[in-house]
Amino acid sequence: MDRRQFNRLCTGLVAGASSLHVNATDITPTPRSALVFEDDSPVTLAQLNPGEAWIFSYPYKTTPCFLVRLHESAPHQGSWPGGVDHDQSVVAFSAICSHKMSHPARPISHISYQDKPVTFYDKQRQKQTQRGVISCCSERSVYHPAKGGQVLSGPAPVPLAAIALEPDENGALFATGSHGPDQYERFLQAFGFRLAMEYGTSDVRARVGNTTKVVLAKDFSAQQVLC
């Protein structure tokens, strides 16, 4: 084995070890669920357009998440494995704001993916204008979906929880776990009564099944509050 081959082998081993570390220790696995459209056809990577935001429930039937193909790559960062597809531009995050748990509800949503530029003050009080962020208009928290949902602005204490996605060999998407500090239990306790009515269920802690429906964010809530 020459030196170049040896270096390639070492690089491969390190990369493999690193991805194993991410998968083994940082993602909380939850039941695998196929993302499907309203007609039960699979959601595939090829059907997701840049800048279009979708909502699906995961890991509970009453906990909403965003699915977005970003205009940019979302590479592995820290313990977050990054987006999927060849350019790592497809990401999913819990849509429950880490501040006071504002979330998309059927009548109204104060939190949304913003494809148009949003102006905010960053942590250094510098004015920024950026497109492709997740913005919560309740108290103006802004999250960066290409950087693991990190907080760019506002009172949110921690990033959005990321949802682990896995495409199969045809590009069909599956949700398989949750990464980072999630709000699920706190959310279900705080909003359980209203969620039971909104989702028409007596068990707000029911997990999604083998499939979970994906709908356009603009169709999920009757009104989206922008800021």
Contact with ligand FES (CB under 6 A) among 63, 114, 135, 138: 138
Task: Please report whether residue 155 would count as binding ligand FES according to CB under 6 A.
Answer: yes
Which of 219, 227, 150, 189 lies closest to 63 in space, CA to CA?
189
Calpha distance 94→110 (Å, rounded):
14
Whichever of 55 and 97 has its CB closer to ligand FES, that residue is 97
| Nearest CA among 144, 146, 148, 125 for reference residue 135 | 144
Write the CB contacts of 109 (distance below 8 Å, at least 6 apart in sequence): 103, 217, 220, 221, 223, 224, 225
- State which residue, 35 or 136, has the beta carbon closest to ligand FES: 136
Binding status of residue 144 toward ligand FES by CB under 6 A: no
Smallest distance, Å, CB 111 to ligand FES?
6
Please give the Cα distance from 146 to 72 (Å, whole number). Answer: 7
How far is residue 160's CA from residue 99's CA, in Å, rounded to a whole number?
Answer: 10
Query: Is residue 96 near ligand FES by the rule CB under 6 A?
Result: no
Q: How far is the CB of 24 from ligand FES (least distance, A)?
A: 32
State yes or no: cis peptide before 29, omega within 30 of 0: no
| Closest distance to ligand FES from the beta carbon of 96 (Å) | 9
What count of other Cβ atoms lies within 10 Å of the Cβ of residue 144? 18
149 is a site residue for ligand FES (CB under 6 A): no
Residue 102 in the binding site for ligand FES (CB under 6 A)? yes
Q: Which is nearer to ligand FES, 143 or 174 (CB)?
A: 143
Output 158 or 215, the one with its CB closest to ligand FES.
Answer: 158
d(CA 69, CA 103): 20
> Which residues form the interface with ligand FES (CB under 6 A)?
97, 99-100, 102, 136, 138-139, 141, 154-156
